[in-house]
Amino acid sequence: MRYLLIFFLAMTIPFAQSMTLLNYAVTLEVLGGRLHGSLLMPKTEQPLPVVLLIAGSGPTDRNGNNPMGRNNSLKRLAQGLAGQGVASLRYDKRGVGEGLALAPDERELSVETYVADAAAWVRKLQEDPRFASVILIGHSEGALVASLVAAEQPVAALITLAGSGRPIDQVLREQLQGRLPPTLLATSHYLIDELSAGRTHQPVPDALEVLFRPSVQPYLISLFRQDPAQAFARVEAPALIVQGTHDPFGTREEIERYRLSDAIEILWLADGDHDLRPRKVTGLTAADHLRTMAGTVRDWVTASDAEPYGSPPSTSTA
């Protein structure tokens, strides 16, 4: 016996291929202003499952793009979900894209604010009669935000994509090891210690400004006090963890510790990196990984019949 994740896709897959897709611009009133998002859904009279897509760290927009690279990863995921009969809403965070006006100064950002905004989107979707259930999907830092929301607010399911297996201050220490000369490495560890203790610090050496500039320190303080594993352990909804085998943010040993019950499953993408794209050495493509993930989700949901919004999943013979 094992628990099966619910997605309410079983009723939509047979006719999804023939449906017209509708794309709406949506807004949400939040503290300080208005957030903007894109709702993509098949045209149907039946209530649909809807996914709230939460972007990763930094200036990553609703489509998964940031100044470091443009891959439209979240937009492509939304399109793939729509093709299977699943609606999705993706949005610009505060300080990004159309959300820039809500946080023109990055000193105003915090993990707690991101969580409150995502929770408000969930409530908006749950009140919409067009949707049968709400599922959270977060990538990278968005996985942490999604876990924190799901720990406090009932949702049908949680999916984390390339989430961290340990607190971010620990990840940052490891990433800096061997990349900085001894003096700067010692300074960076000191700054991490200070921020972890909730204290800002000035001045910052020029070589470390991009990581520890004074304007980003309040956000880092809010981030360093979060433990992804503890947040995930508080989630009662069924969950799927999707991780690349070559993602430095989560080793196999770390991620496997998240398998706390039969309601949690882990999908490992062969040779996948933090963006869930395969390295060039295997001959696999990003499309291959998308098909693998979509196939796993499809198999999951067609076997399930649980109630929406966090009710206990039904049991079935594995």
pLDDT at 276: 75
Q: What is the pTM of this model?
A: 0.86
* pLDDT given for residue 4 in this prediction: 31
* Residue 10 pLDDT > 70: no
Nearest to 135 by CA among 156, 117, 116: 156
Higher pLDDT, 282 or 295: 282
Kindly tell me if the per-residue pLDDT of 13 is higher than 70. Answer: no
- Segment 142-156 shows an average pLDDT of 95
Helices 141-152 and 111-126 cross at an angle (nearest 10°) of 60
Q: Range with the lowest mean pLDDT among 72-81, 186-195, 278-287, 304-313?
A: 304-313
Chain centroid to Cα 286, Å, comes to 18
Among 14-28, 198-212, 260-274, the range scoring the smallest mean pLDDT is 14-28
User: What DSSP assignment string belongs to 26-46?
Assistant: EEEEETTEEEEEEEEEE--SS
> Token pair of 64, please?
């998964």
Specify the pLDDT at position 295.
Answer: 57
User: Who contacts 9 (Cβ-Cβ below 8 Å, separation ≥6)?
Assistant: 49, 84, 85, 86, 297, 298, 301, 302
Interaxial angle between packed helices 182-196 and 168-176, expressed in degrees from 0 to 180 and rounded to the nearest 10: 170
Indicate if the pLDDT at residue 315 is higher than 80.
no
Least confidently predicted of 14-18, 26-30, 79-83: 14-18
Q: What is the DSSP letter of 307?
A: P
**Interval 84-120: pLDDT, tens:** 778 899 999 999 999 999 988 899 999 999 999 999 9
Q: Is 136 helix (H, G, I), strand (E, B) or coil?
A: strand
pLDDT of residue 25: 97
Spatial separation of the C-alpha atoms in residues 241 and 158, rounded to whole Å: 8
pLDDT at 15: 40
Band of residue 304 on the pLDDT scale cut at 50, 70, 90: very low
Greatest mean pLDDT among 47-51, 219-223, 227-231 lies in 219-223
Domain with CATH 3.40.50.1820 in the chain: 2-165+237-303
- Predicted confidence band at 273 (pLDDT cuts at 50, 70, 90)? confident
Is the confidence at residue 318, as pLDDT, over 60? no
Which pLDDT score is estimated for 169?
95
Residue 6 has pLDDT above 80, yes or no: no
Strands (E), the chain: 2-3, 21-30, 33-42, 48-54, 87-91, 131-139, 157-161, 239-244, 264-269, 315-316
CATH of domain 2-165+237-303: 3.40.50.1820
User: At 296, is the pLDDT very low, low, confident or very high (cuts 50, 70, 90)?
Assistant: low
Q: Does 293 have pLDDT greater than 70?
A: no
Cβ atoms 60, 29 nearer than 8 A: no
Work out the pLDDT band at 294, boundaries 50, 70, 90.
low
pLDDT digits (tens, 9 = 90+) for 222-244: 999 999 999 999 999 888 888 88
Report pLDDT for 115.
Answer: 97
d(CA 227, CA 224): 8
- Are 117 and 153 in contact by the 8 Å Cβ rule? The answer is no
Region 173-180: what's the mean pLDDT?
91
Instruction: Centre a 10 Å sphere on the Cβ of residue 6 and count the other Cβ atoms it contains.
Output: 28
- Predicted pLDDT of residue 288: 72
**Percentage of the chain with pLDDT > 90?**
49
